[in-house]
Amino acid sequence: MANIIEITDKNPLVNKTVRLGKVAVTVKGYLSADTYAEIANTIANSSFDETGTYRPEYREIARRYVVLKYMTDLDLGEMDISEVFKVTQSGAWYNTIINELPVWAELEQSVDEIINYKLLTRKTSFDDLCETLSAFAEKMGDTKSLDEIAEKLTNLDDKAVVETIVNK
């Protein structure tokens, strides 16, 4: 039986250096499990706005930022995420970095799965309405009570009910 050490000794984990013009940039050739998870969650979580609405256009903005922050030795200084997005559009240098990332396809798949999970499990206003109606129905008890209420409502003047609701 083969030993994993024999394989990894012959294929060590190494970072790559790419030349971007006259600048040498180190691109990580591997990630720890924690860094991998942090990158996937950062991109996925950044794909939602403060109200929890999915905004797919945010994904690429976050992606470009985490690539430079977590997967290279580039110093971003005071550059914010929107500025990183802008400057990564100015040539092929960013694509050179992406092409050197060994786990990029797996990261994209993880981001997709996190986003899909969030979309499938999030509560909507319709869910809230259903919960409210269920709670109301439980408090109302049996249908006999509901029938009594409905009977009383049929005897009311519709115009008076609407005026009362509008005025309140």
CB 48 within 8 A of CB 54: yes
Q: How many CB atoms lie within 10 A of CB 66?
A: 21
CB 18 within 8 A of CB 24: yes
The angle subtended at Cα 106 by Cα 102 and Cα 107, nearest 5°, is 95
Report the alpha-carbon distance of residue 41 to residue 105 in Å, rounded. Answer: 15
pLDDT score recorded for residue 6: 83
The list of the chain residues with pLDDT below 50 reads none
Report the alpha-carbon distance of residue 74 to residue 25 in Å, rounded. Answer: 7
Give the 3-state secondary structure of residue 19: strand
pLDDT score recorded for residue 75: 94
CB 18 within 8 A of CB 96: yes
Give the 3-state secondary structure of residue 18: strand
pLDDT score recorded for residue 164: 62
pLDDT score recorded for residue 43: 97
Give the predicted TM-score (pTM) of the model.
0.68
pLDDT score recorded for residue 111: 97
Residue 58, phi then psi, degrees to nearest 5:
-70, -20
Report the alpha-carbon distance of residue 79 to residue 63 in Å, rounded. Answer: 15
